[in-house]
Amino acid sequence: MHLADAAWPDLEAYFEAESLAIVPLGSTEQHGPHLPLATDHLIAEAFGDEAAERTGYLRVPTVRVGVSPHHRQFPGTAWVDAPVFRDYVESYVRNLAYHGIDRVVFVNAHGGNVQHLREVGRRLRDDDVAYAVEWMWNESIPDLVDDAFEQNGPHAGPKETALIQHLRPDLVHDERLAEARDGGAVDPEASIRTRNGAATFYDTVENSPNGAFGDPTAASAEKGAELFDAASDQLEALCEWLADREWAELRAPERVTSE
């Protein structure tokens, strides 16, 4: 069920019966010369839709702009400051909690959001409002992702390219895949700037001139479909696990005291 598509009497019935919501989150940011700026939120929405279809749990509207200032040199990239993002997402979940939701799966497809969603989850649990867990599709199937491509990449590489080829092939510039590889950071480990154990960069363009990492020419819609189905299995299982937990299991433990 999609919250925005439903009439309120149907939502009232849902909130009486269920306490879990699926919240997709992504970004609107550059993804190399070959992928749309919508890449992350398209991926998050697709996983959210699939999980809602499989489980019957409520999927709420997607947060489409995230923490992306590190991509700001590329035209069109949108972002909000990290404190604003955290406060917005926390307020969003508190709204859901008002209607009876006390557990949330953040279906996140943007690495820049991860630490902030974890912080929001801590705030909500510490305030006894809701238990919110952050989920990233590729982190749920790491071995499959690693085995799928010889030259992978954390951003705008073959794994994301394959998913968009599967989900929205009309938005992929296949004629630019070689350009993305050759003008980007085909070997991320060699390209990402570090010195003496410290990251010596703040922006994507310092590591990849065109914003892509890895070899997207290795991607295909078939590989994207395989990754999507495998990660969807993991998300479905996570939703069912969280829905089955007693609230007492999810609350923060009481302060430990010595006797």
**Domain-embedded: residue 258:** no
Q: Quote the radius of gyration of the chain (alpha carbons, Å).
A: 19
- Torsion sign (Cα): 208, 211, 214, 216: negative
Instruction: Quote the number of domains for the chain.
Output: 1
**Domain-embedded: residue 117:** yes
Report the C-alpha gap between 158 and 127 in whole angstroms: 40
pLDDT in tens, 102-149: 999 999 999 999 999 999 999 999 999 999 999 999 999 999 999 999
Range of the domain at 173: 3-250
* Confidence tier at 254 by pLDDT (50, 70, 90): confident
Residue 131 bridge partners (DSSP): 103
Is 154 in a helix, a strand, or coil? coil
What is the CATH classification number for the domain harbouring 90?
3.40.50.10310
Contact 121, 133 (CB under 8 A): yes
**Domain-embedded: residue 149:** yes
Residue type, 168: R
**Domain-embedded: residue 187:** yes
Return the minimum-mean-pLDDT range out of 11-20, 72-81, 114-123, 191-200. 191-200
Q: What is the pTM of this model?
A: 0.95
Confidence (pLDDT) at 190: 83
**Domain-embedded: residue 257:** no
Contact 213, 27 (CB under 8 A): no
Whose CA is closest to 163, among 84, 45, 51?
Answer: 45
Contact 66, 85 (CB under 8 A): yes
**Domain-embedded: residue 255:** no
**Domain-embedded: residue 63:** yes
Residue the block writes with tokens 């604003």? 84
pLDDT in tens, 48-78: 999 999 999 999 999 999 999 999 999 999 9
**Token representation of residue 146:** 């690693």
**Domain-embedded: residue 259:** no
Average pLDDT for residues 228-249, to the nearest whole number? Answer: 96
Report the C-alpha gap between 103 and 116 in whole angstroms: 17
Confidence (pLDDT) at 258: 64
- Torsion sign (Cα): 232, 236, 242, 245: negative
